[in-house]
Amino acid sequence: MEKNLKNLSNPKNFNHPVSIENIDKNILIEMIKSMILIRKTEQQLAIGRKTGLIGGPVHLGAGQEAIAVGISQSLTATDRVFGAHRSHSHLLALNPNFYKLFAEVLGKKTGFSKGMGGSMHLFDQQNGFYGSVPIVAGTVSLAVGAAMAAKMQNKKDIGLAYIGDGAVEEGVVHESFNLAKIQNAPMLFVIENNLFASHMHISLRQTSNMTARFAEANSIPYEIVDGNDVCEIYHTAKKQIDEMRDGGGPRFIELVTYRHYGHVDWRDDIDVGVDRSLDDVSNWKDRDPITRLSKSLVNNGIWTIEEENSYCEEIDNKIFAAWDKAINDPYPEQESTLNYVFASKKSKS
């Protein structure tokens, strides 16, 4: 097996408009809207953090939106999706309710996790989002268990974990690969390979920059895809997920991408990266998933720049209003700290 991403990890490649062949027009428009909505939501979070209105850390995924958006097109509300510390896009791609995200990040009772989680602990099971938490690799084995459960429950639902390239270094992830395969669990391992774990480039942490070598080692069928091409992601994930729903067992998809912001909060962080240059950041911005789809849509007459601008404006206004509302929402009651410790306690009260 070739064990190098080669061109895929080079930002000077793959910056052309994406191919939109064989995708329904409505889906294309849904996808670009979803990506724009997520980008703008995160931009608002960046501002909120910078101005101090947000008290906790935010791990922004701007630049990586295509992944969750492309995959979520093939997910249903009864699938079992797990995230990690950088999961705004994972949730918003299933439920674009940025108001509840703002409320949560601001620690408000009206948030996705009732104000108990902030940016790093998100929940929306109704829409298939089982939860995200910031222990790196902490949810991977959980997703495998949720996938095993789907099988036991005779449901066609799948388990899915978004996994960073850094998370792949945790031993439990390797145990999870083996367990998922030996159990033939409908589990999709989604590797968001953005080449970095906080300040460390993957070349300083692993012996190859292609994590799919571990899928190969565990005989899990895998695909390696340009993580900034929402259409290719859409096609690949759809095929994999269809196979999984048909009892095909686990799948692995590696998506090569890059984050525009630094590891945490609103800065570009060229200052704190080991091996992250301003040049790279700017080249990767040329490979931006939104721009690339937008160009294709415009070139193919699927939507116009005017439509895009008016959608952006609409979202801007809604975000402004939602932020305002969230800011004025109530905090959780003091009793929450003790009341949520046990489920049984809660049900008694």
Partner 1 sequence: MKKHNYGTAILSAFEYLLENYPEVFVIGQGLWSPWYVGNTMTDLDKNFGSERIIDTPVSESACTGAAVGASLAGMKPIVVHPRMDFMIFAMDSIVNQAAKWSHMLGGQANPGLTIRSIINRGGEQGAQHSQALHAWFAHVPGLRVVMPSTVADARDLLIASVLSPDPVMYIDDRWLYEQEAKLGPIVELDLSKQKPLITKKGDDITIVSSGHASLLARNTAENLRKKNISCELIDLRILNPFYCDDIIKSVTKTKNLLVVDSGTTTGSFSGEVISKVIENIPIGCLETNPRRLALPDAPAPTSRVLEKEYYLKVSDIEETVLNMIAK
R_g of the chain, CA atoms, integer Å: 20
CA angle, 134 as apex, 143 and 150 as ends, to 5°? 10
Total binding residues toward partner 1, as defined by CB under 8 A: 80
194 binds, among Mg ion, a copy of itself, partner 1, none (CB under 5 to 8 A by kind): Mg ion
With binding defined as CB under 8 A, does residue 113 bind partner 1? yes
86 binds, among partner 1, Mg ion, ligand TPP, none (CB under 5 to 8 A by kind): ligand TPP
Nearer to partner 1, 38 or 147 (CB): 147
Gap between the Cα atoms of 80 and 88, Å rounded: 16
With binding defined as CB under 8 A, does residue 159 bind partner 1? yes
Residue ranges of E strands in the chain:
80-83, 122-124, 129-132, 159-164, 187-193, 196-197, 200-201, 222-226, 251-256
Distances (CA, A) of 104 to 119, 154, 198, 256: 7, 34, 24, 29
CB of 160 to partner 1, least distance (A): 11
Residue 115 near residue 150, CB atoms below 8 Å: no
> Binding partner 1 by CB under 8 A: which of 20, 28, 179, 195?
179
Nearer to ligand TPP, 48 or 164 (CB): 164
> Binding a copy of itself by CB under 8 A: which of 2, 3, 309, 317?
3
Nearer to ligand TPP, 83 or 250 (CB): 83
328 binds, among partner 1, ligand TPP, Mg ion, none (CB under 5 to 8 A by kind): none
With binding defined as CB under 8 A, does residue 16 bind a copy of itself? no
Nearer to Mg ion, 251 or 259 (CB): 259
Q: Report residue 311 as tokens.
A: 């959608």
Distances (CA, A) of 180 to 12, 40, 145: 36, 36, 8
With binding defined as CB under 8 A, does residue 342 bind partner 1? yes
Gap between the Cα atoms of 242 and 227, Å rounded: 20
Nearer to a copy of itself, 216 or 329 (CB): 216
Gap between the Cα atoms of 163 and 137, Å rounded: 7
Return the residues of window 205-234 that contact a copy of itself according to CB under 8 A.
205-208, 213-214, 216-220
Return the residues of window 136-165 that contact ligand TPP according to CB under 6 A.
136, 164-165
Return the residues of window 178-197 that contact Mg ion according to CB under 5 A.
194, 196
- Please state the three-class secondary structure of 45-114 as a single string: HHHHHHCCCCCCCCCCCCCCHHHHHHHHCCCCCCCEEEECCCCHHHHHCCCCCHHHHHHHHCCCCCCCCC
Q: Report residue 81 as tokens.
A: 């999706």
At which residue do the structure tokens 């449901």 appear?
A: 155
Choices 101-109, 133-141, 249-257, 271-279 (CB under 6 A): range interacting with ligand TPP: 133-141
Contacts with a copy of itself by CB under 8 A lie at: 1, 3, 169-175, 178, 181-182, 204-208, 213-214, 216-220
Binding residues for ligand TPP, rule: CB under 6 A, are 85-86, 134-136, 164-167, 194, 196-198, 263
> Which positions lie near Mg ion, rule CB under 5 A?
164-166, 194, 196
